[in-house]
Amino acid sequence: MPSSSSSSSDGSDSDSDEEEKPNEKRKKAQESDKVSKKAKKAKQEVISSDSDSESDSDSSEEDAKEKKKKKKDKKKKAKEKDKKDKKGKKKKKDKKGKKKKKKKKTL
């Protein structure tokens, strides 16, 4: 009997060793899958960034031109607005170049 009990314990030990090995294999497989997925994502990002950079260079030139036009338009509008505002607000000057004082009306 003792030999059978020892053999059963030996059998259980071998079973536990066999159970650990498949678990380790699964873990290694999962880790390798994760690594391969990360590598694929990185490749896709590199490819997409390369294609984006090509299209960005074309669009960036167009964007720069549009920005310059917008800046010029804003400056023109601001100058025109300033001219309009100044027309009504300019104070009259004497022949000598001095500002005229406004006369107060008395009732």
In a domain, 86, yes or no: no
The model's pLDDT over 25-58, given as tens digits with 9 standing for 90+, comes to 888 889 989 998 888 888 888 887 766 555 556 6
Range of the domain at 63: 15-79
Interval 51-91: pLDDT, tens: 655 555 667 888 899 999 999 999 999 888 877 776 666 56
- Classify residue 39 by burial, with Cβ atoms within 10 Å: 0-12, 13-18, 19+: exposed
Give the 3-state secondary structure of residue 32: helix
pLDDT-derived band at 8, boundaries 50, 70, 90: very low
- Tell me what pLDDT residue 92 has: 61
Which pTM value belongs to this model?
A: 0.28
| Domain-embedded: residue 101 | no
Q: How far apart, in whole angstroms, are the C-alpha atoms of residue 101 and residue 92?
A: 9
Number of domains the chain is built from:
1
Query: How far is the CA of 100 from the CAs of 30, 76, 87, 88, 92, in angstroms?
Result: 90, 32, 17, 16, 6
Q: Is residue 99 part of a domain?
A: no
Q: Is 74 a member of any domain?
A: yes
Residue 48 main-chain phi, psi, to 5 deg: -65, -35
User: Which tokens hold the place of 72?
Assistant: 């010029």
Judge whether 93 and 100 are in contact, CB under 8 Å. yes
